[in-house]
Amino acid sequence: MSSGGENDHFYSFDEGDSSSIELYESQNTSEFTIHGLVFPKLTSVTSQESEFDINEDEDGVDTIYDGMLDTPITKNSKRILCEGSVPNLNYECLTTKGIFERMLQRVDHLQPVFAIPSADILILLQHYDWNEERLLEVWTEKMDNLLVELGLSITANVKKDNDHNSHFREVEFKNDFTCIICCDNKNTETFALECGHEYCISCYRHYIKDKLHEGNIISCMDCPLALKNDDIDKVMGHPSSSKLMDSSIKSFVQKHNRNYKWCPFADCKSIVHLRDTSSLPEYTRLHYSPFVKCNSFHRFCFNCGFEVHAPADCKITSAWVKKARKESENLNWVLSHTKECPKCSVNIEKNGGCNHMVCSSCKYEFCWICEGPWAPHGKNFFQCTMYKNTEDSKSKNAEDANKTLKKYAFYYRLFNEHEVSAKLDWNLGQTVGTKVHALQERMGISWIDGQFLSESLKVLNEGRTVLKWSFAVAFYSDASHNLTKIFVDNQMLLATAVEFLSELLQIKNPEVIMKRRPEFYNKAGYVENRTIALMECGRELLCKGICKVVE
């Protein structure tokens, strides 16, 4: 497999893998056909229904992601790809409140079966972790005994020690009441269930408050008789039972973590429910990852709970993250956030998304990643993303460890650079919203026509994410293999494309933006193509075992 010139992408494949050759062909042609043209794919995206659901005023940031990372590329999609396809994931995004409301509906549904009050069914379900089938099973077996067990009915032999005409389950005011919990004697409000165990309201409140976060059934302090949601709200004086239900649903989600996953993003309270997990092994086998998106547009991997990490699979991701955690202490101080200008040595902090740096003091143009001059970057290849395997494979063993560390440091640095860039892109996103507004106001452009900016930003984000994780794949790949070389070429192409697009998005003047609008379409379309190509190429590396975690 040593044939093929440096710029030749059409490496031959052993197994006559025609589909993947087609893939590379189609990319290369698309590279040429899109010049000067409005790329049709992008406009079709903007006309999808979901685009109209979003609120225009949402911080001015358009956070719609219905992009390529959510659904795996299958044979049905427009592009022809290498072997294997996986079924789409059938999932929904919920909140604890949403799940609870659904449970309430189930209670209404079950009411005729049980023929007991709905509030009681709720308690039964709560006890059985909202598992209807198990509850029904036990119910047919035990019936009345179950009600006694869970404190829903009082047995005949439990003596009602206070048979004064108390109003059970109502807060009452009493003079000179002695509470056996606090032992205080006072004029106070009290509460009791039918068991007659009566306590002062402050002890009851304290008791309930401590139990709300546990999510279990709250019973009388002295017997198993259960407090229903109404009772809890009465005692607390405000609707507190919702908190108990919330805790109960949370523990339900925790216990059903095969189908339900919390969105891992900070402060996001969404739960993603995968209705059918049977396709997950297929995803793993074909080195796809089951990426899902919560209602707040956070995308994550349902399998490992990590952020979107294509083209790496979960195994590579976890190995990489583990390694990063282990090595980062050594490396972090090296990879400080400032760099010296290669020419005049003034300290530079990068505060924009693009890696094309212009030194503010000497005007020297250089690449932030390789610190080399910028000039050769723009045109063809992004040489700095290629790891130069300088030494021959002769003196292996002794320097192997050192080399691995060096190789790792190299890729980790790239990974890190793109992570930082992605964060800066996020800031860029904040300004894109204002730019769209400016376009609307100053140029009289309609909202839908201004969407190419946020579309481009979305494409840029996805491109960067894929690029970032591709370095993890590159690190674990056999560098001598031809496919790895193709992969690295693909990385360079995407890196170049991403830089172009990032640079375009830096433009502030609305007139210039509108004038260069076709360029936005071109570059974004190109980045999109390159992103998919890199993802597929990475997956092929994984499928063929060229990229694997070596213990």
Residues that bind another protein (CB under 8 A): 180-184, 197, 203, 206-207, 210, 221-222
What's the rounded Cα separation, in Å, for the pair 82 and 16?
A: 12
Beta carbon of residue 175, minimum distance to another protein (angstroms, whole number): 18
Terminal Cα distance for the chain, rounded: 27
Catalytic positions, please?
Answer: 354
Nearer to another protein among residue 224 and residue 264 (C-beta): 224
CA distance 240 to 301: 34
In the numeric block, which tokens belong to residue 98? 């949403």
Between 1 and 180, CB nearer to another protein: 180
Q: Among residues 213 and 363, whose Cβ is nearest to another protein? A: 213
CB-CB contact of 524 with 500 (8 Å): no
Find the shortest distance in angstroms from Cβ 323 to another protein.
Answer: 35
Our CB check for another protein shows the closer of 185 and 434 to be 185
Distance CA 313, CA 316 (A): 5
Query: What's the Cα-to-Cα distance from 287 to each of 85, 536, 542, 551, rounded to whole Å?
Result: 10, 10, 6, 19
Q: How far is the CB of 195 from another protein (least distance, A)?
A: 11
Full strand arrangement of the beta sheet holding 185-192? 172-178, 185-192, 198-200
CB of 193 to another protein, least distance (A): 13
State the Cα–Cα distance between residues 111 and 119, nearest whole angstrom. Answer: 10
To another protein, the closest distance from the beta carbon of 245 in angstroms equals 20
The DSSP code for 226 is B
* Min separation Cβ 119 and another protein, Å: 22
CB atoms closer than 10 angstroms to residue 392:
7
* Nearest to 324, CA basis, from 385, 421, 412, 419: 412
Q: Residue 303 and residue 274: Cα distance in Å, rounded?
A: 11
CA distance 11 to 485: 10
When the beta carbons of 197 and 544 are compared against another protein, the nearer one is 197
CB of 179 to another protein, least distance (A): 9
Cα 209 to Cα 239, 241, 246, 249, 406, distances in angstroms: 12, 10, 14, 17, 56
Looking at the Cβ atoms of 222 and 519, the one nearer to another protein is 222
Residue 244 vs 483, nearer CB to another protein: 244
Q: DSSP state, 49?
A: G
How big is the CA angle at 280 (ends 275 and 282), to the nearest 5 degrees? 135
Question: Residues 172, 190: contact at Cβ < 8 Å?
Answer: yes
